[in-house]
């Protein structure tokens, strides 16, 4: 595929400095680029690589002031990294161009599927499901009864979407993830065993959400488990029944969110964080890896770490004291001995 600098500038809203008709056919790192390559330069510490590159075209910051001539045609843009992502998505993402229905896939007679949909080998679309324009359903995907998948969403191999769940537009769900499995609901009974509580709700995933591999989003007992727009979930994350993840929140791998917990907007959550159930986490909270959130966070925009979690500055002070504990123990032992000697005398 040949793309001109002028086309890329139009896509990204940038300004060409050099030859607008220069053509690129691939994307590469600055140090690996060749005469047909597009690359990008965003971080000032890599400017030496920029001036030594053999790329045909480079996306650079709009405010970059060079002390020497540019080594190639450039496009100035406020956010070169984002502009590079736009180019990758438009011209070089093979997942955006798959079409047709492969053999051995099954579509129920009452399912509604747009013509412009890819359905891979062994995929199964159940009764009443609705699959919108531009959806990519990879091999071995299951879309359950009355489930809805919005426009231009990608379901990678092995994704399972249970009955009645709703997935919005422009979402990406990676292999092995299960959307809509039963919440962990059991009622204790007199003989010490547990009776299963039917989970009759669903999962609602809004637009522009990406969910990593092997995640589990449990359906609600009643109502909906909700993943708001723009949320990004890493691999191996558990979201329990009736939980809600606020818009544009990002969560790293191996985190567990217990039932009915609500995480606010634009939060940042590190890996292996555990949230107890039925709590509220304020908007903009930043939570360090392996933290245990055992109570509500009510003040927006604060940083937390530790288990049980505490404000970041308080945690740092605690760590300073912890490092001194062996020394403090020895001082206490010496003081006890001295007190004993004084008492005897």
Q: Which residues participate in catalysis according to the annotation?
A: 241
State the CB neighbour count (10 A cutoff) for residue 189: 9
State the CB neighbour count (10 A cutoff) for residue 320: 8
Q: Which of 81, 33, 31, 37 is nearest to 59 (CA)?
A: 81
Phi-psi region of 326 (alpha: psi -120 to 50; beta: other; left: phi over 0): alpha
DSSP-derived pairing of the beta strands 73-77 and 112-113: unpaired
| Contact (Cβ atoms closer than 8 angstroms) between residue 252 and residue 231 | no
- Give Cα separations from 134 to 92, 201, 206, 217, 338 (angstroms): 17, 27, 17, 24, 80
Per-residue DSSP letters for 240-293? Answer: -TT-EE-TT-EE-TT-EE-TT-EE-TT-EE-TT-EE-SS-EE-TT-EE-TT-EE
CA distance 43 to 247: 28
State the CB neighbour count (10 A cutoff) for residue 182: 15
Tokens (6 digits) for 292? 């245990």
CA distance 294 to 137: 39
| Contact (Cβ atoms closer than 8 angstroms) between residue 231 and residue 250 | yes
| Contact (Cβ atoms closer than 8 angstroms) between residue 267 and residue 286 | yes
């Amino acid at each position: 595929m040949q793309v001109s600098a002028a086309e890329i500038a139009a896509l990204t809203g940038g300004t060409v400095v050099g030859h607008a008709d220069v053509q690129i056919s691939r994307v590469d790192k600055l140090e690996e680029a060749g005469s047909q390559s597009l690359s990008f330069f965003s971080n000032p510490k890599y400017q030496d690589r920029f001036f030594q590159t053999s790329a045909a075209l480079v996306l650079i910051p709009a405010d970059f002031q060079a002390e020497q001539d540019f080594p190639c045609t450039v496009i100035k843009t406020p956010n070169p990294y984002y502009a590079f992502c736009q180019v990758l998505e438009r011209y070089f993402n093979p997942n955006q161009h798959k079409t047709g229905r492969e053999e051995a896939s099954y579509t129920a007679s009452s399912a509604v599927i747009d013509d412009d949909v890819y359905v891979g080998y062994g995929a199964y679309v159940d009764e009443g499901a609705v699959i919108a324009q531009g959806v990519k359903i990879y091999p071995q995907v299951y879309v359950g009864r009355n489930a809805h998948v919005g426009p231009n969403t990608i379901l990678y191999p092995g994704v399972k979407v249970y009955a009645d769940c709703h997935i919005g537009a422009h979402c990406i769900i990676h292999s092995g993830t299960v959307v809509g499995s039963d919440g962990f609901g059991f009622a204790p009974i007199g003989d010490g065993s547990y009776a299963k509580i039917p989970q009759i709700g669903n999962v609602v995933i809004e637009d522009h959400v990406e969910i990593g591999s092997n995640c589990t989003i449990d359906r609600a007992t009643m109502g909906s488990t909700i993943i708001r727009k723009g949320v990004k979930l890493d691999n191996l994350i558990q979201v329990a029944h009736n939980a809600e993840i606020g818009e544009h929140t990002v969560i790293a791998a191996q985190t567990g969110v217990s039932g009915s917990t609500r995480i606010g907007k634009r939060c940042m959550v590190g890996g292996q964080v555990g949230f107890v159930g039925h709590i509220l986490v304020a908007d903009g909270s930043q939570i360090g890896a392996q933290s245990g959130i055992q109570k509500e966070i009510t003040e927006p925009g604060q940083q937390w770490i530790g288990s049980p979690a505490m404000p970041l500055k308080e945690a740092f002070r605690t760590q300073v004291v912890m490092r001194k504990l062996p020394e403090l123990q020895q001082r206490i032992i010496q003081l006890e001995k001295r007190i004993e000697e004084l008492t005897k005398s």
